[in-house]
Amino acid sequence: MTQRTSLRKREAFVAAHQAGSSYAEIAERHEVSQECVRYWCRRARRGESLESRYHRRAPGILQHFDPLVRYAILRLRLRHPRWGPSRIRYHLGKRASLRGKRQPSTTQIGRYLHQWPRFRHRRKRGVPRIPPPQALTHVHE
């Protein structure tokens, strides 16, 4: 009997419980488990949000940073295609326009750049393997 509940349903659970209904009655009426109703009613009693803490949409990569920082990362990478995230981070710190602004870590810069196929590492083609010479079958062959 697993089913996702909407915010309206959760609010209805809490309202019904405050009106005096038991968890079992509410669960039967809304066709959810008794544990589900108890969970949301107790969360409401503690003053916690009735919004689900799971299934949140993750913000975009580096969305918490100034747009100028993201722009500078892309500009540096386009101007210097062979620079990696650590070198880009080093040069971000030298830019006067970014002084006083929070800067992402090397890993965050790498993830930010990785979202575009143009900036991903290309696999190197391996040297074709030459099969080893046939093993000798007789002595002094």
Q: Is 102 left (phi over 0), alpha (psi -120 to 50) or beta?
A: beta
Residue 112 lies in a domain: yes
C-beta separation of 3 from 37 below 8 A: no
Q: Is there a domain that residue 101 lies in?
A: yes
Summarised one tens digit per residue, pLDDT across range 61-94 is: 888 899 999 999 999 999 999 999 999 999 999 9
Q: Which residue has 């299934």 as its token pair?
A: 55
Stated pTM of the model: 0.50
- Cβ atoms within 10 A of the Cβ of 70, count? 17
Report the alpha-carbon distance of residue 50 to residue 89 in Å, rounded. 40
Q: Which residue has the higher pLDDT, 76 or 52?
A: 76
Considering the domain boundaries, does residue 75 fall inside one?
yes
What's the number of domains the chain is made of? 2
Tell me the pLDDT tens digit for each residue of 112-125: 999 988 888 777 78
Same-domain check for residues 35 and 74: no
Domain-embedded: residue 127: no
Identify the pLDDT of residue 26: 93
Which of 2, 49, 25 is closest to 13 using CA atoms?
25
If asked whether residues 78 and 112 sit together in one domain, one would say yes
> Is residue 109 domain-resident?
yes
CB distance 84 to 90 below 8 Å = no
In a domain, 111, yes or no: yes
pLDDT digits (tens, 9 = 90+) for 10-28: 999 999 999 999 999 999 9
Residue 107 in domain: yes
- In a domain? residue 91: yes
CA pair distance 95, 92, nearest whole angstrom:
5
Question: Are 38 and 73 members of one domain?
Answer: no
Do 78 and 113 fall into the same domain?
A: yes
Residue 1, pLDDT above cutoff 60: no
Domain that holds residue 114: 67-119
Rounded distance, CA 46 to CA 17, Å?
Answer: 14
Confidence grade of residue 141 (pLDDT, cut at 50, 70, 90): low
